[in-house]
Amino acid sequence: MSLSIASFLVSLACSDRFRKFSKTNQLPHWEKLFRNALLFSVGLFAVEAIVSDGEYFKWIWHLYLIVLIVIPLQQVELRPLRMFILAFAPYVLVSSLNDLVQVVNADFFKDNESYFKNAIGITFIWFAALLYSQNRQTKAAERERLRRLREDEINRSIAIRKVELEALVTERTAELTRQKEELETALTELQTTQSQLIQSEKMASLGELTAGIAHEIQNPLNFVNNFSEVSNELLDEMQTEMDQGNTEEVKAIVVDLKRNLEKINHHGKRADSIVKGMLLHSRASSGVKEPTDLNVLADEYLRLAYHGLRAKDKSFNAKFESDFDASIGKINVIPQDIGRVILNLLTNAFYVVDEKRKQLGDSYQPTVSISTKKVGSEVEIRVIDNGNGIPAKIIDKIFQPFFSTKPTGAGTGLGLSLCYEIVTKGHGGELKVETKEGEGSVFIIHLPV
């Protein structure tokens, strides 16, 4: 059984080495074949252990090992394995000769059995030693190959980047400059069209937000300007380092420059989204529903409504909160119309809490919150304030046209009636209010998904 164990170990090592070679050199057919050979070795050894009759199995092992020698020798793509075959071929030869002599000339074998056993042991040790040596050489060669590949790749990358970097940076800088000029032009156009937008109740809400939008767009514009100036300085510094051949310093500068470009791109997109949001709000409703993220829409108008009132009245201050249900996804609505509804409700909420603050002073904390939630087949939007609430005697009138709770000249009385029309007739939803005098109000929108 000891000879069978040795043959099993040799076949296992050979099959595994052949399989790894096939995988490394992308030979899927041979990889599959040698994987099956590996399984065959295990299965054959298991069957032999169960049957406990090694007389027939030893010839199967010899035949199997001879096949493992012959196949790589006959295949062109497996020729690199020939050196490895030399490691275990002596064992196969001696072990086969051992069993053959035992059958042909038993007396001769009996007289020289010790020599045969020693020869088998030596060839097995030879195989194990060469296998260990080749493994070490293979790993060392692979490490050296990978090291050279990395060096060659780094050198090629430096050479290519040195040629392309200036052109790439120049192109990106020109693009950033163009974006900055477009943002400045857009800001000018927004400020110019402010007076033209306040012509109806649908456009009146935009007048409340103009200062807030200018406040919001100024921040990303400042970032674009600052990072553009820093990038120009980095370009000058990189040119100096390139002339001096300081490759590592050039790499570090490229990393900083890429980080600056990413920040400029981020803030440019932020300003672009603000501009698009304002244009979307100012554009006449197309009446076409489209998939819309209500969470993004509500969050945008919450901040813009707050900053718009802050810009008009520096003494205004309020706490605002949001609680959005991420599971609602996008639903089909007319974004311009729903945006006007949310904006109107938030503006009204900030107005009423500010009025209460003026009455109670610092002992009162004005708070406005907005939340979204999926309720069955509907999405619920809540706008909550802790103002004075709505008197019971007028609550049935608040959605009527031209009815307003604000002082004369402070409102047209069309805001809530238009909101009600957009939600109910335009979207088949529901708009209602829950209120308690002295504690606040909750405006609730239900939209079908």
- In tens, the pLDDT along 68-77 reads 777 777 777 8
User: Residue for token digits 């619920």?
Assistant: 380
Q: Which residues of 216-249 are buried (b: 16+ CB within 10 A; e: fewer)?
A: bbeebbebbbebbeebeebbeebeebbeeeeeee
- The answer on pLDDT for 108 being more than 90 is no
Tell me the mean pLDDT in the region 6-22: 78
Pairwise CA distance, residues 49 & 42, whole Å:
11
- The answer on pLDDT for 146 being more than 60 is yes
| pLDDT of the residue at 198 | 35
pLDDT category of residue 214 using cuts at 50, 70 and 90: low
Tell me the mean pLDDT in the region 33-57: 78
Q: Which CATH number fits domain 316-449: 3.30.565.10, 3.40.50.720, 3.10.180.10, 3.90.1150.10?
A: 3.30.565.10
More confident call, 334 vs 231? 334
Torsion angle of C-alpha atoms 392, 393, 399, 404, degrees rounded to 10: -110
| pLDDT of the residue at 195 | 43
- The answer on pLDDT for 24 being more than 50 is yes
pLDDT category of residue 212 using cuts at 50, 70 and 90: low
Tell me the mean pLDDT in the region 193-218: 53
- The answer on pLDDT for 386 being more than 90 is yes
Judge contact between 285 and 337, C-beta under 8 A: yes
Please give the helix or strand (H or E) that residue 191 lies within, else none. helix 113-192
Tell me the mean pLDDT in the region 108-120: 74
| pLDDT of the residue at 139 | 74
User: How, if at all, do strands 319-323 and 367-375 pair?
Assistant: parallel
| pLDDT of the residue at 276 | 60
| pLDDT of the residue at 372 | 95
Q: Mean pLDDT of all residues in the chain?
A: 79
| pLDDT of the residue at 442 | 95
Q: Above pLDDT 70, what percent of the chain? A: 84
Most confident of 127-131, 151-155, 328-332: 328-332
Name the token pair of 182.
């477009």
Q: How many residues does the chain have?
A: 449
| 102 CB-near residues (< 8 Å, 6+ apart) | 109
Name the token pair of 161.
């980047």
pTM above the 0.85 mark?
A: no
| pLDDT of the residue at 264 | 79
Please give the helix or strand (H or E) that residue 373 lies within, else none. strand 367-375
- What residues does each domain of the chain span? 2-111, 316-449
More confident call, 202 vs 279? 279
| pLDDT of the residue at 411 | 58
| pLDDT of the residue at 53 | 61
Judge contact between 321 and 369, C-beta under 8 A: yes
| pLDDT of the residue at 96 | 74
More confident call, 76 vs 191? 76
Pairwise CA distance, residues 39 & 448, whole Å:
60
User: Residue for token digits 């993220």?
Assistant: 293
pLDDT category of residue 43 using cuts at 50, 70 and 90: confident
User: Residue for token digits 């088949």?
Assistant: 428
- The answer on pLDDT for 228 being more than 90 is no
Tell me the mean pLDDT in the region 153-175: 83
